[in-house]
């Protein structure tokens, strides 16, 4: 079995890798679109092949121009393979060694997936393979959406929202919000980074998203104290709640509702029909 990164000459065979399970995957339209946008790169698509046939494919996603991928987006193993877990784990391990890191595996499933035997089965062997390859932490997030047939939140009566062109202002805000946070990803990053490194990395990552930097807001109370940060943004799928956070001294007062309301109002004023969070 040969494990290697893909090359442009492999494209037709890569497009022939089909996942017919109840799970998100890098389907042909997505593969071509993200190769064009450079969210996918050939050297971040790894394959296991034997006698010229691709038996497994793993695809990683990242921001264009970044040195390393951010997340594993898709794992495919041909149904004819007897040990799908073993082959997938070996493929991921080879890629992780080449990357010098093991990016998290992002999987999207529909509501009620736990009651769907096909969805559970699709996740089970992938989860086991990912675990064998070193991905042992698990985090489940829920996707919410505001749609244009819903009411628009009223303006906050407690907070004033202002933009700031100085990235350092947001670095300071992100650093403050990270103190005592319950956010899993931030807590994990702070195990290996200083608070300043973590905050600067977040600001850099959010600035690379499709949302405009001028949309970002700092939230102050009536006395002028910084309370939180609210980032309306966008990704490839459309408008999103990019980031929101409340400083430790102001937690427990429901300010998160004001921040989320401001992001929603901002996007709604632009005429969008759906906002994801």
Q: What is the pTM of this model?
A: 0.85
Confidence of residue 236 (pLDDT cuts 50, 70, 90): confident
Asked if 2-132 and 145-276 have one fold, the answer is yes
User: Looking at domain 145-276, which CATH architecture does it have?
Assistant: 3-Layer(aba) Sandwich (3.40)
Q: Average of pLDDT values for 133-156?
A: 97
Query: Mean pLDDT over residues 176-195, rounded?
Result: 96
The residue extents of the domains of the chain are 2-132, 145-276
253 vs 250: CA distance, rounded Å: 7
| SS3 annotation, 165-211 | CCHHHHHHHHHHHHCCCCCHHHHHHCCCCCHHHHHHHHHHHHHCCCC
With contact defined as beta carbons under 8 Å apart, do 45 and 60 qualify?
A: yes
- Cβ atoms of 262 and 219 closer than 8 Å: yes
Class of domain 2-132: alpha beta
């Amino acid at each position: 079995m040969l494990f290697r990164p893909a090359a442009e000459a492999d494209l037709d065979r890569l497009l022939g890798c089909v996942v017919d399970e109840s799970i998100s995957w890098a389907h042909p339209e997505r593969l071509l679109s993200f190769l064009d946008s450079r969210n996918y790169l050939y050297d971040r698509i790894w394959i296991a092949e034997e006698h010229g046939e691709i038996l497994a494919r793993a695809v990683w996603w990242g921001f264009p121009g970044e040195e390393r991928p951010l997340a594993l987006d898709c794992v495919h193993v041909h149904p004819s393979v007897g040990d799908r877990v073993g082959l997938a784990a070996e493929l991921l391990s080879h890629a992780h060694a080449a990357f010098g890191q093991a990016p998290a595996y992002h999987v999207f499933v529909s509501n009620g997936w736990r009651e769907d035997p096909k969805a559970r089965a699709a996740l089970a062997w992938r989860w086991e393979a990912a675990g064998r390859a070193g991905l042992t932490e698990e985090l489940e997030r829920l996707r919410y959406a505001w749609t244009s047939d819903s009411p628009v939140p009223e303006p906050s009566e407690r907070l004033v929202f202002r933009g700031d062109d100085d990235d350092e202002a947001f670095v300071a805000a992100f650093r403050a919000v990270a103190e005592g946070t319950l956010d899993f990803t931030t807590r994990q990053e702070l195990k290996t980074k200083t608070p300043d490194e973590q905050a600067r990395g977040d600001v850099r990552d959010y600035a690379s998203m499709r949302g405009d930097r001028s949309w970002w807001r700092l939230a102050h109370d009536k006395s002028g104290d910084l309370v939180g940060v609210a980032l309306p943004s966008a990704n490839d799928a459309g408008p999103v709640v990019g980031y929101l956070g409340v400083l430790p001294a102001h937690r427990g007062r429901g300010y998160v509702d004001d921040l989320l309301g401001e992001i929603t109002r901002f996007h709604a004023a632009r005429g969008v029909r759906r906002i994801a969070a």
